[in-house]
Structure formats: C-alpha cells, structure tokens
Amino acid sequence: MKIFTVIGARPQFIKAATVSRAIENDESINETIVHTGQHFDDNMSRVFFDELNIPRPLHNLDIHSLNHGAMTGRMLEQLEELILIEKPDVVLVYGDTNSTLAGALAASKLHIPVAHVEAGLRSFNMYMPEEVNRIITDRISTFLFCPTTEAIENLRKEGFDYNTCHVVNSGDVMYDAALYYADKAKAPATGVPENFILATLHRAENTDDPQRLTSIFEAFNTISKEIPVVLPLHPRTRKIMEKNGLKNNSDQLILTEPQGYLQMISLLKNCKMVMTDSGGLQKEAYFFRKPCITLRNETEWVELVNSGVNKLGGFDKSVIVDAFRSFRNSDTFFPENLYGNGDASQKIIQFLKEFY
C-alpha cells in the first residue's frame, strides 16, 4: 500500500509522528511525506522532525505567509502534481489546516481516497477557517477516523450514515503521542518557576483583534500576580503584540520563544493549569491531568467542558480570571479514556490495510 501523507503545521507533525511510526513497523506499506511549508520557522517545524524522529519529507513545498485562498490554491496545485507522479493508494491528511484541505481536494479531484485523521470535530463557528477546512475535508473523505464518540455523533447528524464512506472511532493519535513521549520530555532551556500556569495564544480571532488581545493579555498579567504564567510566544503573536504596544506588567509573566514538543510535554507535566486557544493543548492538558481554560467562546472538544476539566474563558478578562480562581479553589476530577486507549495509530493503519 502506498500512502501519500500531507502535513504542514505543528500539530500535524506530532500526529504524523505516531502514525508514521506505526507505518515504519509494517513492511507492506510505503509512505511518502509532503511538507507544505505552512509552518516554516525552525522552532515551529524542523525541531519537531528532529525531536520526534519523524521521517524527513520527500518534498517541501515552502508555501506560507499568504492569505487563505492563495495559500490553499498554491498547495492544491503543487500537491496535485505530486499525487499524479506518486500514484498513491490513499492520501492521508490530519486535522483542519489549509494543508489538510488542499491535500483532500487534490486527492478527491483525482479520485484518490482520502483518509482524514481527526474527523468529525465541530466548533459550530463558521468564522473559524479551521471549521470550514474540517467540514469540507470530512465531506470528501473516504475514511473518517474520529477521535471521540462525540465526533462520530456529529457526522451522524450531518447525514454521513448515508454517504459512501467509512466512519471509524479510532481514538486520538495525540493520546498515543502523549503516552509515547511522556518519559522523553525535556526541560526548556529557559528556567521556569516551580509553580506556574502554562499559557499559549495564537488564533487569528484573538491575535488580530486588538481589543481581544489586550483583554486576554491583561488577564495574564492579573493572574501572574497570584501565580507565575509561562507564555511561549508564536512568532506571529509576538509581532502583533509589539505592534500594539502590549507589555507585561508583571515580572511573573514569563515570555519565552516557542518550545519544541518535548519541552511542551515537560511544561505540561509540571504546570498547575493551562490557558490556551489551541485545540491540541486542551487535550494534552487532559492527558496530563491539568485543568484548562480555553481562550475561546466554543471548543470542538466539548467532552472536556462537559466533564468539568475545561472552562470556556473566551476573551473577557474577568471571565478568564474567574475561571482561574474557580479551578484554583477546588479539586478537578478527570474521567478516564475520553480519547481511547492509546492505540489509535495502529487502528488506523490496520483499518486501511484491510482495503489494500
């Protein structure tokens, strides 16, 4: 079986690491990895291939720093050319980025089956480009590997029971990664306090709105006066903060460079709480039994909110601070096995092998 894997962004590198490792252990499968270049900074790209031992991409398209339409269009054009050359049996895509959509569209138009890992997620916010990407990718995929029962239920409500496709509850490959790399964690080069909150902020709906960005940053400043906040900054977020003149007013708000995956695992293992607008980090907080405040008004990981381990803080300073104090003043119960048993990668590969 020939698998053509499309990746381009930090979360996809982590997911691909687990599935590619399963592929490497199977001599009957040949994988071609293509990096679209969507995340190109060394701290957001190369370090992951080095740390996670991901096979080097055969092709790097170096497409980045463009508007959504231009970026997706150029990826679609170049991926189509490569698929025509490689002639794979299936095109494998992850998540909900422009790289995901471009890979799925290129394959679908060439009548190559698409396998979508992390299918069925919905935030029900069509202003999010990720929501548009994941909905379209699901609709044109042949194999939909869902991380949760909620994801499967989303597809059922959308009529996927009547589509010509295979919907599989595979569990979450990110859980596979968390289990595999937990003992390989590396402490960040920059020292961090003994007790701290881990925060990240990168989504355009937060960073591109000066009012939202200011409110969230003020919440970080306020909370850091009670417990230190460690904030690894996405390069784009740092530039926007500098442009808007945002500065930390507390010496306990610690701004760092982006961290590699193994460094982030170390931070997760040692922090007291997480504040983030990232989808992946919400789950990783759960994997390591850390309460999480999501800096959005909705989340695709509804099971975390329903179980009480995640609170939606939005972008309002007072709501974020109240959520922080609520978690800090009470114990949090973490239910088991929301994302499978840690064998999602093997399930995905075994299911695909049954067809080829």
Helices (H), 45-145: 46-52, 68-86, 98-109, 129-139
Same-domain check for residues 33 and 135: yes
For 290, the domain range is 184-328
Confidence (pLDDT) at 204: 86
Assess whether 191 and 161 both reside in one domain. no
Residue 179 lies in a domain: no
205 and 161 in a common domain: no
Residue 138 sits in the same domain as residue 223: no
Instruction: Please give the pLDDT value at position 125.
Output: 92
Q: What is the pLDDT of residues 31-63, one digit of tens each?
A: 999 999 876 665 555 666 777 877 788 899 999
Instruction: Give domain status of residue 290, yes or no.
Output: yes
Residue with tokens 């040949």: 30
Given a contact cutoff of 8 angstroms between Cβ atoms, the answer to whether 293 and 315 are in contact is no
Q: Tell me, yes or no, whether 278 lies in a domain.
A: yes
Q: Are residues 109 and 209 in the same domain?
A: no
Phi (first) and psi of residue 293, to 5 degrees? -105, 120
One domain, residues 190 and 260: yes
- Region 208-226 average pLDDT: 94
144 and 227, same domain (yes or no): no
CA–chain centroid gap for 87, Å, is 28
C-alpha dist (Å) from residue 268 to 17, 262, 281, 291: 19, 10, 9, 11
CATH number at residue 128: 3.40.50.2000
* Domain tally, the chain: 2
Packing angle between helix 173-181 and helix 261-270, nearest 10 degrees? 80
pLDDT at position 338 is 96
pLDDT at 20 over 70: yes
Q: Contact 97/130 with Cβ under 8 angstroms? A: yes
Whether the Cβ atoms of residue 204 and residue 237 lie closer than 8 Å to each other: no
Q: Are residues 349 and 256 in the same domain?
A: no
Task: Looking at the structure, tell me whether residues 201 and 317 fall in a common domain.
Answer: yes
Model confidence over 291-338: pLDDT tens digits? 999 999 999 999 999 999 999 999 999 999 999 999 999 999 999 999
Banded pLDDT at 354 (limits 50, 70, 90): very high
Q: Is residue 122 part of a domain?
A: yes
* Same structural domain, 191 and 234: yes
Q: Could you tell me what percent of the chain has a pLDDT over 90?
A: 79
**Is 14 contained in some domain?**
yes
Q: Are residues 41 and 15 in the same domain?
A: yes
- Asked if the structure places residue 243 within a domain, the reply is yes
Active site amino acids: 202
Per the domain annotation, does 266 fall within a domain?
yes
Tokens representing residue 96 in the block: 């909900």
Mean pLDDT of 228-244: 88
Whether 57 maps to a domain, the answer reads yes
Q: Are residues 146 and 293 in the same domain?
A: no
